[in-house]
Amino acid sequence: MNYGYFDEKNREYVITRPDTPAPWANYLGSPAYGAIISNNAGGYSFVESGANGRIIRYHFNADDKPGRYIYIRDNDKKDYWSASWQPVGKDLSTYESECRHGTAYTTIKSKYEGISTETLYYVPQGETYEVWRLKLTNSSGAKRNLSVFGFVEFTSESNYEQDGVNLQYTEFITKTEFLNNNMILQRINQFEKRKSDGTNGKERFFGLAGARVDGYDGDLQAFIGRYHSYKDPIALENGKCSNKLNYNLNSCGALQTDLTLEAGETKEFAFILGAKDEFKAAELLKKYNSLNIIDEELAQLKAFWHGKLENLQIKTPDKNFDVMVNTWNAYQCFITYIWSRAASFIYGGLRNGYGYRDTVQDIQGIIHLDPELALEKIRFMISA
């Protein structure tokens, strides 16, 4: 294999070359929150429905953009790159990358110009938001002055089709953005069904935990720049966000934090993304004031999925066959069953797959592995 290998001990697929022939994807999440991520951090997220709960955008083509991007800038050298090989795409003779797709989590490591990064992406078990933890290490032997930018491109409307084609509705009458301490908050149709506290259940947020916010952008064009792209955002060229929020145009969540790393020093912090109002999001970000909780949540996630997979284990003369059956085929079946085959990097998500036939087929296919999960699916279908 020219691009990676199976690490069966850790139940991970390791991608050692980021320039794969197509995006190689992993699934994150639970029945209530879905996320798809590629080996270059491309992908999208949704709440409950890939068709009607879309939070962030993804272009369904071989370009594999946009996604969950973290940019790093050396402010002395005025050079910048991304913690995943894409979207900046530095020359692979100078940029090192390794992606590990695990059971409902993905870790992407990189090394460029003496700066190493390790980004963990996951959805905590049973929760409806996602966490990106970044570990940044200076192995260059000299002090480095850096800026880190977390970036997502919000949808303008939760329905995938409306967001993509009905711009008269989704751009001009639906949304505003606010900076609330350490997060960008997007409000969709903020005056529709508004409660006494000002919320209406259609909010999204992108926050930063464990570091201060030194700059921000909620306006997509302000961050990317006219005639620029995800590869070369104007904010990265300038070394700072414009601190411009969005009103009824294409929006994003971009948060900048500036830091100095001494030789050998490591710093870590986390970006949090979800569809919650400002009050719930603020409480959530407080939860991650201590980043130790992330290792605990990752351990819980592994225990849950590995426990599921232990229900069916085989041993044959063909080790490769065992690897596929014991981990990857079963994991794929679990995930596609939970989401009713409604979301992938190929299918845009307009059909939820919640019909009688599809549901019965899925339940028949999984009930012998996990009867409790089958019952959970039935309950979720009834409530939906």
Can you read off the two tokens belonging to residue 203? 């909010």
| Dist CA 64 CA 43 (whole Å) | 7
| Dist CA 369 CA 308 (whole Å) | 8
Q: What is the pLDDT of residue 337?
A: 72
Q: What is the pLDDT of residue 187?
A: 87
Range 253-267 average pLDDT: 97
Q: What is the pLDDT of residue 200?
A: 78
Q: What is the pLDDT of residue 362?
A: 58
Helix (H) or strand (E) holding 120, with range, is strand 115-122
A 10 A CB-CB count for 233 gives 26
Integer Rg of the chain from CA: 21
Q: pLDDT per residue over 11-38, tens digit each?
A: 999 999 999 999 999 999 887 898 999 9
Q: Considering only CA atoms, which of 32, 205, 20 is closest in space to residue 101?
A: 20
pLDDT at 304 over 80: yes
Q: What is the pLDDT of residue 185?
A: 93
| Dist CA 231 CA 60 (whole Å) | 18
Q: What is the pLDDT of residue 23?
A: 92
Q: pLDDT per residue over 53-99, tens digit each?
A: 999 999 877 789 999 999 999 999 999 999 999 999 999 999 999 99
384 DSSP 8-state letter = -
Q: pLDDT per residue over 315-367, tens digit each?
A: 999 998 999 989 998 888 888 777 766 677 666 666 665 555 555 665 555 55
Q: What is the pLDDT of residue 312?
A: 85
Helix crossing, 330-338 with 356-366: angle to 10°?
Answer: 150
Taking the alpha carbons of 150, 33, 56, 274 in that order, is the dihedral positive or negative? negative
pLDDT at 131 over 90: yes
* β pairing state of 215-219 and 251-261: antiparallel
pTM, two decimals, is: 0.90
Q: Say if residues 275 and 265 touch (Cβ distance below 8 Å).
A: no
Q: Say if residues 120 and 105 touch (Cβ distance below 8 Å).
A: yes
Average pLDDT, the chain: 88
pLDDT at 381 over 60: no
